Structure 1
């Protein structure tokens, strides 16, 4: 039994390494714009929900979930970047409204609303 253990461990490591290399290359769908990120976020969350709603998950399902996660991560990263920019624009609107700076409110308000309406139509 002890002589089989090293061979078993080596086999598992090789299998694990080859499984990792087959999935590491997957990049997910890009999220170059906020609207694309929101669309991918919605679509891929629904796919994830459908898979998680099953009574049991197969190894194939786990592989699919692994691939979905890349696209979801890309989408979340873009959404977070855009939300940060929205917060800056909103703060500029706020500060402009306090100081009576109509141009500041108008320009930053327009940018803020454009992004905000992409998140919540």
Structure 2
């Protein structure tokens, strides 16, 4: 009876260990990127953290966990940067078209919006 109980307990522990190991990776939200400047700041800071981790000779499992978490912030930042870059392209096209047609108001309005975003990316 003792051997049977021991086998059942051992089997139970093995099943629990396998279940724990096979649970999906925990997902994080990452730092928000609500504005272009916030996205650029997060992108810069988080890339620096990633570079420091990747510069190590060896990565530990903890390092991989940290890298996993960092990628969420980077993904949020890139998503916002891409959205803003699309808007910049639209504004730049409006500046282009306005300059062709002599529409000063169109050039100034869209030019100001374009430059505000562009200067956030490249000061």
TM norm. shorter chain > 0.5:
yes
Deviation at residue 13 of structure 1 after TM alignment: 5.2
Give the aligned CA root-mean-square deviation in angstroms: 1.7
Q: Secondary structure at the match of 1:71?
A: helix
TM-score (norm 1): 0.86
- Name structure 1 gaps, 5 residues minimum: 1-7
2:59 to 57, 66, 74: 57
Deviation at residue 78 of structure 1 after TM alignment: 0.1
1:1-121 superposed matches below 5 A: 11-12=17-18, 14-17=20-23, 20=25, 23-24=26-27, 26-121=28-123
Q: Which ranges of 4 or more aligned residues in structure 1 deviate by more than 2 Å?
A: 8-14
Structure number with greater Rg is 2
Q: Secondary structure at the match of 2:34?
A: coil
Deviation at residue 14 of structure 1 after TM alignment: 3.9
